[in-house]
């Protein structure tokens, strides 16, 4: 029987790029992400919104789908998937697709399995990592961990993902500040900077580690003002890694002028989205962005549900 699976999009509150080099990151799952359903088929097929592919067509999407199915040991299936967040914009679209498709495939081939069971969660994450590997090369795994979660998570490459207890919900505003950018290219640009000037990247990575550790304490204490300041400092370090753009800086500045406690890019940068933290209501920030012609939305992040 056909059943629909979901996965969350995400914003990174702090820690993108540094997480690739072992720093921790804090990510928050969005209530919009990706949907997928899978049906038995003779040949693997994948329909992604208006685009479709079939087994052997050589596209990245079909290679990723093959890697995902191989990870789950699944037979050929026809999958239809849809995105609820813009792709290439730092909201974890590709990982949300990977997690939603992996969940849909498991539901189709092992209908008696509970997706909430730890074994199923581990298989979904491994399959989503195989999917992400085709698009991103050296993905840290933070996107897939957030896509498979709710609420807020603390993630590191060595420690994996753990839920963060929030003393207060986070009123966030998200704007699409620039055109989509390739995560793979942005991660490679930071790797090139590190090869030329290792001290710049290594200092940023230890700076981000300290910011993330303090931000976790702020989340657990409900100190949104402290969290906002740490987000602003993280944005400065990201600018130092040359992954910010003028459009991102403008969107951060207008959010702060409209009362945001902090604002930064989310994801790989080079374009894409900005996330701002409001004290209570995100509406004044959204109004400022709309006046500048930016597409935007509000998202409230609550506590992570226990796995």
187 binds ligand PMV (CB under 6 A): yes
143 is annotated as an active-site residue: yes
Among 139, 166, 263, 286, binds ligand PMV (CB under 6 A): 139
Among 33, 267, 271, 282, binds ligand PMV (CB under 6 A): 267
The distance of closest approach from Cβ of residue 10 to ligand PMV in the complex, given in angstroms and rounded to an integer, is 7
Among 26, 74, 125, 140, binds ligand PMV (CB under 6 A): 140
User: CB-based contacts of 55: which residues, under 8 Å, 6+ apart?
Assistant: 43, 44, 45, 62, 66, 76
Q: Which stretch binds ligand PMV (CB under 6 A): 102-110, 135-143, 169-177, 195-203?
A: 135-143
Q: Which stretch binds ligand PMV (CB under 6 A): 112-120, 134-142, 194-202, 281-289?
A: 134-142
DSSP 42: S
User: CB-based contacts of 50: which residues, under 8 Å, 6+ apart?
Assistant: none
CA quadruple 74, 94, 54, 40: dihedral, nearest 10: 40
Footprint of ligand PMV on residues 10-39 (CB under 6 A)?
16-17, 19-20
The distance of closest approach from Cβ of residue 291 to ligand PMV in the complex, given in angstroms and rounded to an integer, is 26
CB 44 within 8 Å of CB 174: no
Angle at 158 between CA 190 and CA 18, to 5 degrees: 20
Residue with tokens 């896509």: 147
- Catalytic residue chosen out of the listed positions 31, 57, 60, 143: 143
User: CB-based contacts of 93: which residues, under 8 Å, 6+ apart?
Assistant: 9, 33, 34, 83, 85, 86, 87
134 binds ligand PMV (CB under 6 A): no
Q: Which two tokens stand for residue 64?
A: 């990723």
84 binds ligand PMV (CB under 6 A): no
List interacting residues with ligand PMV (CB under 6 A): 16-17, 19-20, 90, 92, 136, 139-140, 142-143, 183, 187, 267-268
């Amino acid at each position: 029987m056909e059943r629909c699976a979901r996965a969350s999009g995400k914003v990174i509150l702090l820690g993108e790029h540094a997480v690739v080099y072992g720093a921790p990151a804090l990510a928050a799952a969005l209530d919009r992400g990706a949907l997928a359903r899978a049906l038995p088929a003779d040949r693997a097929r994948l329909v992604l919104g208006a685009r479709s592919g079939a087994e052997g067509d050589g596209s990245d999407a079909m290679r990723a789908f093959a890697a995902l199915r191989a990870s789950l040991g699944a037979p050929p299936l026809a999958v239809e998937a849809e995105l609820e967040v813009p792709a290439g914009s730092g909201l974890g679209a590709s990982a949300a697709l990977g997690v939603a498709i992996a969940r849909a495939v498991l539901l189709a081939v092992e209908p008696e399995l509970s997706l909430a069971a730890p074994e199923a969660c581990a298989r979904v994450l491994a399959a989503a990592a195989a999917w992400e590997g085709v698009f991103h090369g050296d993905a840290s795994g933070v996107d897939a961990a957030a896509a498979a979660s709710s609420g807020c998570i603390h993630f590191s490459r060595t420690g994996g993902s753990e839920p963060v207890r929030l003393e207060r919900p986070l009123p966030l505003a998200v704007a699409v500040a620039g055109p989509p950018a390739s995560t793979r290219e942005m991660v490679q640009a930071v790797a090139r900077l590190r090869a030329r000037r290792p001290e710049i990247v290594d200092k940023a990575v230890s700076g981000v580690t300290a910011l993330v550790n303090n931000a976790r304490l702020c989340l657990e204490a409900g100190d949104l003002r402290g969290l906002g300041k740490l987000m602003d400092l993280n944005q400065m370090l990201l600018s130092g890694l040359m992954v910010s753009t003028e459009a991102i800086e403008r969107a951060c500045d207008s959010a702060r002028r409209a009362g945001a406690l902090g604002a930064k890019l989310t994801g790989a940068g080079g374009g894409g989205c900005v996330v701002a933290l409001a004290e209570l209501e995100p509406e004044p920030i959204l109004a400022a962005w709309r006046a500048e012609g930016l597409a935007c939305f509000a998202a409230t992040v609550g506590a992570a549900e226990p796995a």
